[in-house]
Amino acid sequence: MSDNIDVTPGTGKTIAADDIGGGVLVQRVKTTWGPDGTANDADVASGKALPVQLRSSAGSDLLAGEYEIVAASQSAQVLGGSGAAGDYIAGILVIPATVDPGNVILLDNATSITVFTGGTGSVSNLVPFFIPLGMISVSGAWKISTGADVHCIAIGNFT
């Protein structure tokens, strides 16, 4: 059975619809993209996925990031040249040097966020691990403090 509804704007056109239950129909809309006068169907199967850009509120490309290495036993190392509110941190690669590494603390200027507690037996091997974050700083530069025997690589878009 077709879920389409006939509409008569003069001579009659059919609009695609979907029955969501209870006799309720909703109009079915297909996403297209392209410059004026064209319409490319968004279709992942045919390789025509919808192009998307992830941008901060300031307009910077969140995926065009960089990395910054933070050595062990650092205190509030600023990420980027000076850092600022609006900076984006995608995540932190934690690299333990022992099975008893120190902690890793992320600071949004002054707000402290423990992202890895560390401590005795906190890891069973020395394999680096990634902590996904996807956060935008609201109060100033991102900073990282590291304990003994652990360093990390911060990945993001820092000023």
User: pLDDT by residue (tens digit) across 124-136?
Assistant: 999 999 999 999 9
Q: Where are the domains of the chain?
A: 5-46, 66-157
pTM greater than 0.75: no
Write out the chain in H/E/C secondary structure: CCCCEEECCCCCEEECEEECCCCCEEECCCCEECCCCCCEECEHHHCECCCCCCECCCCCECCCCEEEEECCCCCCEECCCCCCCCCEEEEEEEEECCCCCCCEEEEECCEEEEEECCCCCCCCCCCCEEEEEEEECCCCCEEEEECCCEEEEEEEECC
∠ at Cα 50 (47, 53), nearest 5°? 125
What value does the mean pLDDT take over residues 142-151? Answer: 97
Give the confidence band of 62 by pLDDT, cuts at 50, 70, 90.
low
Q: Mean pLDDT of all residues in the chain?
A: 87
Residue 25 has pLDDT above 90, yes or no: no
In this prediction, residue 18 carries a pLDDT of 83
Give the rounded percent of residues in the chain with a pLDDT score beyond 70. Answer: 88
Cα gap 148→78, rounded to integer Å = 18
In this prediction, residue 1 carries a pLDDT of 43
Tell me the residue type at 112. S
Cα gap 147→26, rounded to integer Å = 56
